[in-house]
């Protein structure tokens, strides 16, 4: 099955700086790559996603890039704020409905 690796496992940034989380996947047939944010004690929520026919997607301060050749995709958060502190999960899927998740990255934004 699909194997998704996510790095780093923890990330501490100064407020206002950028944060980058990277994921690699094993199955070249995967075509859907969502990112979820999980705040402490809450449920995961989708923040952005990208399909394999697109190389980059941006939504305000967050962006995702995809390199199909290298089989990796990244989440970029610019101008980080304290409310960005959370656990972020990447995922990959071939059929949209069955996701394989990375292990998660705990992001801490220092004020």
Under the rule (CB under 8 A), what is the footprint of another protein? 1, 6, 9, 32, 34, 42-46, 49, 89, 96-104
SS3 state at 29: coil
CA distance 75 to 63: 6
Compute the least distance from the CB of residue 5 to another protein, in Å: 10
Compute the least distance from the CB of residue 54 to another protein, in Å: 13
Torsion angle defined by CA atoms of residues 51, 67, 97 and 61, in that order, rounded to the nearest 10 degrees: -60
Of the pair 78, 100, the CB lying nearest another protein is at 100
Of the pair 98, 110, the CB lying nearest another protein is at 98
Q: Angle at CA 95, nearest 5°, toward 89 and 96?
A: 45
Compute the least distance from the CB of residue 7 to another protein, in Å: 13
Of the pair 77, 89, the CB lying nearest another protein is at 89
Note whether 5 and 23 are within 8 A (CB).
yes
């Amino acid at each position: 099955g699909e194997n998704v690796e996510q790095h780093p496992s923890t990330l501490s940034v100064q407020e206002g700086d950028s944060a980058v989380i990277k994921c690699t996947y094993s199955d070249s047939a995967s075509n859907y790559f969502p990112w979820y944010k999980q705040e402490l004690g809450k449920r995961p929520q989708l923040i952005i996603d990208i399909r394999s026919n697109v190389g980059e997607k941006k939504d305000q301060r967050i962006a995702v890039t995809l390199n199909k050749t290298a089989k990796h995709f990244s989440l970029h958060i610019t101008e980080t704020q304290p409310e960005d502190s959370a656990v972020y999960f990447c995922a990959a899927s071939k059929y949209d409905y069955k996701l394989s998740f990375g292990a998660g990255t705990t992001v801490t934004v220092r004020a």
